[in-house]
Every structure is written in C-alpha cells, then in structure tokens.
Structure 1
Amino acid sequence: MTRLRVLAIVGATATGKSDIAVHLAERLGGEIINADALQLYRGMDIGTAKILPAERRGIPHHLLDVLDVTEEASVSAYQQQARQLIDGIRERGRLPILVGGSGLYIRAVLDDIEFPPTDPAVRARLEQEAADQGLSALRERLIRTDPASAERIGAADARRVIRALEVKEITGRPFTAFMPQRRYIHPGTVQLGIQRPRPELHERIERRVHSMVERGLLDEVRTLRAAGLDRGLTARRAIGYEQALAVLDGTMTCEQAIEATIVGTRRLVRKQDTWFRRDPRVHWICAEQTTSGSMADVLLDHALTALNDVEVVASGEDS
C-alpha cells in the first residue's frame, strides 16, 4: 500500500477545514501547515477566522503570523518555506497536513510548479513602452517572440502580456514553459476537499461575519492600521478588513459593512469552489449537518475512510 506522505485539506472558506485538520493530525500524528494567504499576517486574527491557540490542541501549526501587514505575500516564497517544512516534518516521522483555501498556494506546494523570476527594471520599462506605444505594439512583439503564450493571453490583458515579455527577456524561455503541471512532487500526496450544502454554507458565513464584529473586528483593524495596514497592498484589501476600514473612515455604516463582507465572502466561496473543482485529484467529503455525534467526529470518520480508499486504489495501481 502506498504510504501517505502529504495530506492537504482544501475547500472554500467556512467549511470547517481547520477543525477537521486538527482532529486528523491527532489521529495520524501530523503537523499542520497553513495554506490561507491572509493567515500569514500577524494580527489578522478575527477577520481571517484564524484558529485560536487553545483550539490547536497541542498540534504544531506552521506559517501562521509570519508577515507584517505592510508586506506583500509571495507565492514563490511561500512555496519554498512550505516545502522546507514538509521535509522537516517528514524527517521527524510525522505527517505534513496542508490546510487552507488559497488554491494557488496549495498547488505551488504540492505540484511541479516553477515560478519565473522578476526584474522590476525590465517590467517598468515594458510598462512605459505600453503607455507610450500602446498595448498592441507589445502584443505584436509577443506574437513574434513567444507565439504560444500570445495565443493563451487575451489581447486586452496588459498585465499578462507584459509579464510574458518580461519572462522571455529575463530567462530566454517562453512564458508557457512555466505553466503548472498537475503532477505531485511527493508521491503519496492526498487532497481531501471539504464541502457543505450551499444554503448551510451561506448560513455559516453570515454567522461568522456577525461573530467577527461581536468579537472586536473593528478594534483589531484599528490596531492593524496603527501598524501600517493602509500601506499593505494585500492585507488592506482582504474581505472584512477593507469594509472595516471603510467603517472607521465613515464611508460605510457597520450594517453596510457586514452585508458587503457577507456578499464578498460568498463570492470568494464560488471562486474557491470553481478552483478546486477543476482538480480531479481532490477527494470530496460532504460535511452536512448531523444530529448525532459531533460534527468533527463525523468528518473524521469520512476523512479516514476517504484516505483508506485512495490508498487502496494507489496500492492496486502499484501492484
């Protein structure tokens, strides 16, 4: 039987991933690696529903609170850090459990993905050329130098046209050469997707947002603003935080901010669901409401059954 080497718990926000991950880590001897891009930030606790220390039940949690709100999260930096953690956890004889809803971050860790380098000077020059000559001129250049990438990039997508030309100039390789491959770097990787019926998920989101406000989200944002939140390109735009800033600035009422946060979170859920549904390797578990036993125990039973099914299939393929 193929030995489980890396486990990922994925799915949309508010589905209960953190809770099931802790219970799985207890049962399987695991350590948890955060894969929620916003939970990388120190102090962004309430608005990201970051798992509390008491709720971690002694399970080590990695890559929480590693960035200041003024810093910009980097997928390539995260990839390197998370892969180093996976190696270290496995060397200790424990199971790495990647948990979160940031799809690109998860794929960056699990799959054979190489991120091309950047050069601010080259990009600035290309952006100036686009402003002076028009995007069509840069697109014509891309068609000549990297036709495969030009076919895949929309004619009006200035950011990606410039990025493709930047990569070609820096590396000499076409932008398409860096497209991700759906191939795990660790054989024995399993992804479990946690899903809930949409009406139930909407109710959970609404309760969560109201709870965040009651627990002091506005005070959290005031503290973060003093630490430079307004200068954070990523952090200040996070759902819930952007709306809270608007309340503090007087451009939204608290009620309007709550509704906007609920709507924004539902929109995020749809995007996350679409992202993960595109990956046929995700083994989905429906976490429907139940009247018998705790939800965590029910999810744990389903998850362990799914793991066993995946490993049995892998064993049959290897024989």
Structure 2
Amino acid sequence: MSEKKKLLILVGPTAIGKSSLGVEIAKRFNLEIISGDSMQVYQGMDIGTGKITEEEMDGVQHYMIDVMPPDTSFSVHDFQKHVDEVIDEFHEAGDVPFIVGGTGHYIRALIYGYEFNDEDDAEKRALTARLEKLGSTILHSRLRAIDPKLAQEIHQNNRKRVIRALVKHELSNRISSREGPGYTDEMKYDTFIVGLTRDRKIMHENINSRVDKMFEMGLEDEVRALMSDSSLSRTASAAIGYKEFLPYFEGSASLEEVKETIKQHTRQYAKRQLTFFRNQLPVNWYDLDSVNTDTIFEDIYQFLHTKERKKND
C-alpha cells in the first residue's frame, strides 16, 4: 500500500491566535495556507469573521478566503469538494497542504472523507416526505433564504426541483453532529493536527478585546451594508457577529447590548469548538501558557521530515 500524502492542520478556539501563528509556521516551513473557517469564504464579511488582512498575511498565499458572495449558501459538502481540489493540487506539486481554521466539522468531513450519498439515504426520503406537505410558496421562500440565485432559476411551481434543492442543503449541513456510516475510522491523509489552548480566563479576555476592536473598526457599518445591499444566505446570516445586530436594527436592543451578546455567543462558541476538537479529532495539544512555540515548530519539522507514521509506532 502506498504511503498517504501529508496534511498539516492548525486548529483552536476563536481569538487564540491561529492566524498569526499560522503565518509564522508557513514562513518557517515554506508553506501556503488553506483557510478552514466556514465564514471567511464570504466576500465582505471581514470584520465580524476576524478575517486575516493582506498585511497580516505577510506575503503568505491564502486559499478559501473571499471565494463566495454572501448571498450564496456554502455548506460543509461544498467546503469538502473545494478543499479536496486544492489539496490535490498541492500534492501534485509535491507540496504539503496546511489548513488553518476553527470550523471543526468542516475539517472532520475533509480528513475522514465523509461520503455524501443521498440516493439510498432513508433520511433523504423522510425529509422529502416532510417537505412535500408544505405549500409551494413556503418551500420557495425557504430556498430563497438559503440560495437566492438558485431560487431565481427555479420557479416556485416546480416543487420537485425546489424540494430536491432543500433536501440536498439540509443533508449536507446535518453531518456536523453525525456519527453514522458516512465517516470512516481512518484518515485520508497522513495528518498532523496542532491544537492551541490556554487558560480559559485569558481566552475570554482575548475574545472580549477582539469584539471591542471589531466595533472600533466599524462592525456595525459592515453588517448594515451587507444586510441592505444583499440578501445574506441563511448560512452567512447565522454567523456570530452578524445575527446579533437584528434586534438593534429593529430598535429592540442597544448597541452595547449587541456587543455584550456577541461576546457571550463567541465565548460559548469557543467552548463548543474545544469540545468538538477534543472529542472528534486526533489533536496534538499545545498550551500557549506553558509551551514555547519552538516546541510546536520542532514537532512540525519532525512530522514533515519523517515517513508516514504507522499505528503501531
């Protein structure tokens, strides 16, 4: 059996410093970065997603950033398809792909090769039966919220196509919590996952500071422009840092309340991220409060310069 191709991944909760460390790693080992963030694929969603700037990239090429308009749905299935193609290009060139991001179920679907097979899926039949009970207007409005462009192409009276599109979207997003037969026990690549953690109090302080900075940078204006100039897809509009503004725009919450809600939701999200990484991925953890980054660099060097590690090693 031929050796698996290598894949390096850097994960960790939001606001822990993945982007800056990722650039350091990329420059040290002559790598390019593939973003593993589910929201940074969207154009115009910059401040609220903490998107890395061109200056912060420091000359390191980044992929999967700003690749989709915000009114388009981008599912875990879409991510898997796009990133698999990018990884193949790296491997064909003899390079090691390097993913940096915090969307755990996107990364899990990628490295464990989740198989999206709807044809014999009982869940597909159940979803279809449930949707068929709804009126054409309701079905089409749901599709419009998910994918406005596709909704324009499909007339609402074409119930079969509308339902098919809704089922495909729903199934592709459900795998974030699925443990079923779609996953294999073996990873597709010889993968080394660097996971960052640190004291929870410090993480919370970093999150609060980041949200304050987002507001100083003009987060309110960014969200307002996105919501007025385009129809955000359901995926994009559910992003933390964006959905919390709705009560404010409707006049039922103050800007300070929006800020505090974003901080709270972000802290909760960071906790969920850590739980997912610890339970669903084979992460090599590094506590930034006690481990020098040189240790991380040394372990990455060993991974990059050794043959595929066997399970019994």
How does the TM-score come out when normalised to structure 2? Answer: 0.76
- What secondary structure does 2:89 align onto? helix
State the Cα deviation string for residues 189-224 of structure 1 (Å, max 9, x = none).
111101111000000000000100000001111221
**Per-residue Cα deviation, 1:145-204 (whole angstroms, up to 9, x for no partner):** xxxxxxxxxxxxxxxxxx8xx99xxxxxxx986431232112x21111011110000000
Q: Which residue number in structure 2 is paired with residue 127 of structure 1?
A: 130
Tell me, in whole angstroms, the C-alpha distance in 1 between the residues paired with 2:128 and 2:84: 34
Q: What whole-Å deviation, never above 9, does each CA across 1:253-286 have from its counterpart, x for those lacking one?
A: 1110111001101111111111000146210011
Partner of 1:227: 229
Match of 2:210 in 1: 208
Please name the residue that 2:182 is paired with. Answer: 179
Q: Give the structure 1 partner of residue 239 of structure 2.
A: 238
Contact 1:31 1:89 (C-alpha < 8 Å) held by counterparts: no
Is 1:112 aligned to 2:113, yes or no? yes
* Structure 1 residue 27: Cα displacement: 1.1
Shift in CA distance, 281/113, structure 1 to aligned 2, threshold 3 Å = same
1:262-273 matches, cutoff 5 A: 262-273=263-274
Q: TM-score, normalised by structure 1?
A: 0.75
Q: 1:244 to 1:87 in 2, by over 3 A?
A: same
| Residues 10 and 18, structure 2, Cα contact 8 Å, conserved in 1 | yes
* Cα deviation code 1:60-110 (max 9, x no counterpart): 100111122111111112111101101112333332111111111101221
Unaligned regions of 5+ residues in structure 2, if any? 135-166, 172-177
Count of aligned residue pairs for this structure pair: 270
Aligned-partner Cα distance in 2 for 1:243–1:252: 10
Q: Return the offset for 1:251.
A: 2.0
Q: Give the structure 1 partner of residue 296 of structure 2.
A: 303
Find the counterpart in structure 2 of residue 48 from structure 1. Answer: 49
For the residue of structure 2 that corresponds to 1:13, the secondary structure is coil
SS of structure 1 residue aligned to 2:185: strand
Identity level (%): 33
How large is the RMSD of aligned CA atoms in angstroms? 3.2
Q: Distance in 1 between matches of 2:114 and 2:133?
A: 29
Decide whether the 8 Å contact of 2:34 with 2:98 is kept in 1.
yes
In the TM superposition, what is the alpha-carbon distance from 1:116 to its structure 2 partner?
2.4
- The 1:305/1:214 distance shift into structure 2, 3 A limit, reads same
- Distance verdict in 2 for CA 1:124–1:282, change over 3 Å: closer
Give the Å deviation of 1:128: 4.8
| Structure 1 residue 246: Cα displacement | 2.7
Kept in 2, the 8 Å contact 1:221–1:245? The answer is no
Q: Which moved more, 1:94-103 or 1:43-52?
A: 94-103
Letter in 1 for 2:204: H
Which protein is richer in helix relative to its size?
Answer: 1
Decide whether the 8 Å contact of 2:33 with 2:98 is kept in 1: yes
C-alpha contact (below 8 Å) 1:205/1:266 kept by paired residues: yes
**Cα pair 1:112 1:182 within 8 Å, conserved:** no
Cα distance in structure 2, aligned partners of 1:3 and 1:125: 39
